[in-house]
A and B are shown apart, each in its own frame.
Chain A
Amino acid sequence: NAGVTQTPKFQVLKTGQSMTLQCAQDMNHEYMSWYRQDPGMGLRLIHYSVGAGITDQGEVPNGYNVSRSTTEDFPLRLLSAAPSQTSVYFCASSPGSNTGELFFGEGSRLTVL
């Protein structure tokens, strides 16, 4: 199994550009989520999904959109990138909400100029 796969691993954007970070998991997990990691601040939850067709906001959702059309995929969209969105982004999945461990992807480093 590949586990949780994130693409791209690195991306540089200009202010105002849009892009999508892809996340896919092959473990049939119901729960998927996106985090951002900034220096000295740990990981903060952006959006999460408890199943196909269901998404909700986390701690820092502004500037990001998500959708969950399939169990496997949970893309994160930046519609108009800002320098404040420069960060490392992690996708995580779990068998179900409140059941068991979070499994993380390898991360995507995004720089917005």
Chain B
Amino acid sequence: GIQVEQSPPDLILQEGANSTLRCNFSDSVNNLQWFHQNPWGQLINLFYIPSGTKQNGRLSATTVATERYSLLYISSSQTTDSGVYFCAVSDTGNQFYFGTGTSLTVIP
């Protein structure tokens, strides 16, 4: 299967700070998604972004498929941004491979 590596594994930020999360993958993909798992365990889809750049409020994401990486940017972080961020990829659309996540803690 496709190997997915996320960095950093852990991140602690002061409220209002910016951050960049990275997702590297080992093979060509045609589906890439970013998820946020909140402290209650709920998984929320942030971006469907197999290539290019998207923005949604304070969050944006960029995928460079030819270089096999994606970046998630969080600006002006808030305590509600805390949780674990996962990257998931697929080459067929049937089997998704998840990274082990970046655990983000935002301190007031």
Contact = CB atoms under 8 A, between A and B. Distances in A.
Interface of A: 31, 33, 35, 40-45, 48, 50, 56, 58-59, 88, 90, 92, 96-104, 106-107
Given A42-B98, A43-B98, A104-B43, A98 B1 contact: no
Interface residues of B, number: 25
A59 B95 contact: yes
Contacts of B92: 97-98
A44 to B, nearest CB: 7
Contacts of B45: 101-104
B31 A58 contact: no
A14 to B, nearest CB: 24
B41 interface: yes
Contacts of A58: 95
Contacts of A44: 98
A50 B94 contact: yes
A56 B94 contact: yes
Interface string B78-108: 0000000010101011111111110000000
A45 B92 CA distance: 14
